[in-house]
Amino acid sequence: MVDTAARPFPDGFLWGAASAAYQVEGAFDADGKGPSIWDTFSKIPGNTFAGSNGDVAADHYHRYAEDVALMAEIGLKAYRFSVAWSRVFPAGRGEVNEAGLAFYDRLIDALRAAGIEPVLTLYHWDLPQALADACGGWESRAIIEDFDRYCTTLFKRFGGRVRYWCTLNEMNHDFQRAYLLGLHPPGLRDTRRFYAAVHIALLANATAIRSFRRHVPDGKIGPVFPYMPAYPASPRPEDVLASENAEEFLQHWWLDPYLRGHYPDAAYSWLKARGLAPEILDGDAELLAAARPDFLGVNYYFSVCYAANADDGAGLAGINRTGAKGSTDVSGVPGLYKTAPNPFVETTNWDWAIDPIGLRIVLRRLANRYRIPIMITENGLGAFDTLTPDGQVHDPDRVAYLRSHLEQCRLAIDEGVDLVGYCAWSFTDVLSWLNGYQKRYGLVYINRDEADERDLRRIRKDSFAWYQRVIATNGGVL
């Protein structure tokens, strides 16, 4: 199916951009906010690039009005942001912090006044530190009630002004790094605890959706999942099976409970035989089955090739944290799969495959398997952007990346995918968790680095003007 005819996107398509609280807000202890696990973890030497943290970030907390004005200038129809749980509940539970809610009141009202649809993410990795200390965070079923209370507080406060809600963001990436690689808090390497925490997070997601139905009956809600389509490294049946294994464990293990209400059979059987399957209590299956979302948020950056992996083969490896191209090690699960190079695509400095057709493959796989509306909640290029002496940022590689991926979105829509919106990652440059401020994604440059906050000046990149034209023509310039 090849169609190169240029046509606009559907009327009402949500042209957006995105961010996350810890990565942009700063004001880490302002107005009663409590510490998150990332406020704590990032202060431990060696955990992040050059000791970077989100104490100030882009200072969006104090400069949100300036940022929303730029969003209006570029013409955004939607802006996806997350709420910091510990800004609303400093201890994760207990007394509500009114000042924290008031900040999001101001942000939502400013977006709506500018004609921009707020897309609110309930959780983007920044668990209140107090909950991690009190109950072990996502390893305790007690957090399900805590999360539901937090979400319900937001549903009641903002439900009349926010139509689109995202529950959990990229929990597979976060949990893999937190419980298998030791790279995110709590910094563990324990497969059994990983799968136990995953199950609790899935139950928390379902519980929040159930509460949403009561409090925001006219809204739309769904989880956000980062899909990295698995390709076989060769036509060898063993490599094809390895890619199927990767799809089963890395995609379907999350998506099937989110969207079908149960775990995939092959993966569950493999884990059960090894004593790694999560404990499923009475009522768990019914809860998952009763909480089908209204849409799925999809974060897409790259595809991955997989090859067969021997029983004593490659284990999980860390990620590229420096931007030194070619430094990513082979990673896998013995007996199931291991990563392999793809000679047919270019890669970023962080060794991420630049594969726009992969996005179209993702959209078609999701549409065929789950038949659910989709919003692309993140898609973008992380790069070493440079501010020129005359104060400009030229980022042709980002423009090419975004254009090529949007072209595949248009083709996927033509093929029947129900795609309701697209959020570029990110609107401004953000703190990139483990990679500091060197890895820039924004349409707007933030004048700072790891060592120097400078003046935090907002500078429109060339991609800003390009995306402005895309939105104004509803994708016609593609």
Are 48 and 436 a contacting pair, CB within 8 Å? yes
What interhelical angle do 191-215 and 142-158 show, nearest 10?
Answer: 30
Q: Which of 170, 247, 248, 407 is catalytic?
A: 170
Q: 246 — phi, psi (to 5°)?
A: -65, -45
Best CA proximity match to 383, nearest among 350, 428, 423: 350
Residue 98 appears among annotated catalytic residues:
no
Residue 248 appears among annotated catalytic residues:
no
DSSP H or E run through 353? strand 353-354
**Where would I find the beta strands (DSSP E) of 227-275?**
230-232
Q: Which of 25, 247, 248, 378 is catalytic?
A: 378
Helices in 260-395 by DSSP H: which ranges?
Answer: 265-273, 284-289, 356-370
Residue given tokens 């931007």 in the structure block: 323
Q: In the numeric block, which tokens belong to residue 58? A: 């882009």
Identity at 95, one-letter amino acid code: E
Best CA proximity match to 120, nearest among 169, 58, 72: 169
Residue given tokens 């199950």 in the structure block: 199
Handedness of CA 169, 92, 292, 246 (dihedral sign): positive
Beta-carbon contacts of 160 under 8 Å, excluding residues fewer than 6 positions away, are none
CA distance 26 to 141: 30
Beta-carbon contacts of 200 under 8 Å, excluding residues fewer than 6 positions away, are 138, 139, 140, 141, 143, 144
DSSP H or E run through 223? strand 220-226
Q: In the numeric block, which tokens belong to residue 395? A: 């980022």
Q: Which residues are catalytic?
A: 170, 378
